[in-house]
A and B are shown apart, each in its own frame.
Chain A
């Protein structure tokens, strides 16, 4: 955005006491056709008064913590002990920390498992609810319910559904498949958590796709249909190219979110991360290592820095993949 220079006189900086008789060139566009955003008719400090609460909150609870995370990562700070500079010691320790590699593995697997499903399934769902047919508003909002519900509620519902004696297992037993240890096996547990993440995310990304689909010209579909393309063919030749940039956006959003997964796995595997901690994710590790009275703030910050770096890398990767296909 552009900040253009002030065009008014000094009096225009003051709050007017009454209607000024000779307003300085208002509304005539005499100062050129450059689009001017905003009006400079207020006391000089007024904008800062307006922005102060927001800047204060954001500064104190986002920007400052971000900087202090970067600094703390190079110290041995603990919750109750101010730390000292230790250079790269925390990062060297990470390399030998088995739990860190488990966390990195699980968070990465989460991205690989969740992202393709969250790019494709909500698109199909959006196509299903796109058409204005009777009752469709009800279905749209109903499909959104899992998004609205708290992750704790969702987690507990699925713990109950996937329990050894839960609904899914009683159905599986009734049809003769037998019971499956969704929550006791290390890999099935991670897979179940991914399923829950996808289930909860469907409605959210469906809405994003719905907005994108609304911009696809109807004529394209009709032309393709006239040319004899069936629904599947039309999906790949018309719909997918038209919503491609939205698919990239969904891919970027969901991969970043998936890498930072905490609640689903925490709730389903328990605070210690399932059998022998094998289901721990990186953010779970941050929470476990860094909190409490004996929390290793420095070390947890180092893990957070790894989370930052990987998240930014993921974003760049998805966006680059997009540009390559364009060329």
Chain B
């Protein structure tokens, strides 16, 4: 009798019935978590004469078309919005990686008076709930004259306190001896940071980068408050606007959401190995 022999990580054989139940459950959860995205994709591909409200529902588009995507672009400047989102997200990655690495290094690898106070500032900032200070952030932006600009969208999250503390933890785990040796060899602090410490924390840096991109690309509440002029909308705000204005054409809204979510799913699929390692580490360390 030839039965498929599946073993787990410890080399133990898993009984076939247990395995079958497991896969059935996995597929059920898969349908529940990914199904709605596929349904949205399907809606976005359905032609103008197709009944998208049919009961029982039709999952595959009868006359698949990309027409809805061109129509979104005619209705709202969706590619401009995507570009705005991309600008903010890319800038957010750069500012967070650079700023958090520098500050994290100062908190973990240098000794000076006031280090505790500096660390405390970042811990306190991490504990302040964004939702509670959003109005004060708005008035601060007004005072700076940055309301309704992409710079205003970017700034509050440009160096996340959480990221600084993540980088600090990563730097703390490096042994002092290597840097001591570099010091003896004549490396100044900047060289030690760039050539020795930074290359050793690439994993954490990658996690900070992914979080920074996702956070900026997905953010809704803050851009909603800061941006008022449709010209400067990011993709999430533009979508909400599309939904509010053209709620009657579900195909368009569906196409818009797919444009917003597809780049992230691709990015995530490519980087998921880094991601799971990093998130797991973060969870363990608290």
Contacts and interface: CB of A to CB of B under 8 A. Distances in A.
B142 A139 contact: no
B198 interface: no
Interface stretch (A20-28, A110-118, A185-193, A233-241): A20-28
Interface in B157-190: 158-159, 161, 164, 172, 176-177, 179-181, 183-186, 188-189
Given A37-B172, A63-B121, A145-B37, A72 B136 contact: yes
B60 interface: no
A165 B43 CA distance: 13
Contacts of B135: 69, 72, 286, 290-291, 295, 297, 300-301, 304
Contacts of A133: 6, 8, 14, 19, 22-23
Contacts of A26: 180, 183-184
Given A150-B218, A173-B55, A57 B257 contact: no
A150 B220 contact: yes
A311 B139 CA distance: 23
Contacts of A216: none
Contacts of A146: 33
A228 interface: no
A51 B168 CA distance: 11
Contacts of A53: 95, 98-99, 102-103, 159
A301 B136 contact: yes
B268 A144 contact: yes
Contacts of A167: 39, 57
A142 B38 CA distance: 12
Interface residues of A, number: 114
Given A79-B142, A132-B9, A47 B112 contact: yes
Nearest to A18: B186
B218 A23 contact: no
B112 A54 contact: no
A143 B176 CA distance: 40
Among B100, B109, B111, B115, residue most surrounded by chain A Cβ atoms (within 10 Å) = B111
B279 interface: yes
B198 to A, nearest CB: 12
A3 B111 contact: yes
Interface in A126-166: 128-129, 131-134, 137, 139-146, 148-153, 156-161, 163, 165-166
A270 B180 CA distance: 59
Contacts of B37: 145, 149, 157
B140 interface: yes
A23 B184 contact: yes
B116 interface: yes
A48 B186 CA distance: 22
Interface in B212-266: 214, 217-221, 224-225, 235-236, 239-240, 243-244, 250, 253-254, 256-257, 260-261, 264-265
A307 interface: yes
Contact of B264 (A149, A173, A203, A304): A149
A156 B268 CA distance: 21
A43 B219 CA distance: 39
A108 interface: no
Contact of B260 (A48, A69, A152): A152
Contacts of A295: 135, 138
Interface in A272-319: 283, 286-287, 290-291, 295, 297, 300-301, 304-305, 307-308, 311
A245 to B, nearest CB: 10
Nearest to B141: A61
A66 to B, nearest CB: 5
A153 B261 contact: yes
A44 B99 contact: no
Among B14, B95, B235, B250, residue most surrounded by chain A Cβ atoms (within 10 Å) = B250
Interface in A11-53: 15-20, 23, 26-27, 36-44, 46-48, 50-51, 53
Pairs of residues from A and B, 10 with the lowest C-beta to C-beta distance, nearest first = A54-B103, A65-B136, A50-B106, A150-B218, A170-B55, A42-B189, A290-B135, A61-B156, A62-B125, A132-B9
Given A211-B284, A300-B135, 5 more contacts: A39-B110, A66-B132, A128-B29, A157-B37, A249-B286
Interface of A: 1, 3-4, 6, 15-20, 23, 26-27, 36-44, 46-48, 50-51, 53-55, 57-66, 68-69, 72, 77, 79, 125, 128-129, 131-134, 137, 139-146, 148-153, 156-161, 163, 165-167, 169-171, 173-174, 199, 202-203, 207-208, 210-212, 214-215, 218, 249, 256, 260, 262-263, 267, 270, 283, 286-287, 290-291, 295, 297, 300-301, 304-305, 307-308, 311
8 contacts: A44-B112, A50-B193, A61-B155, A69-B136, A79-B142, A129-B26, A132-B8, A286-B135
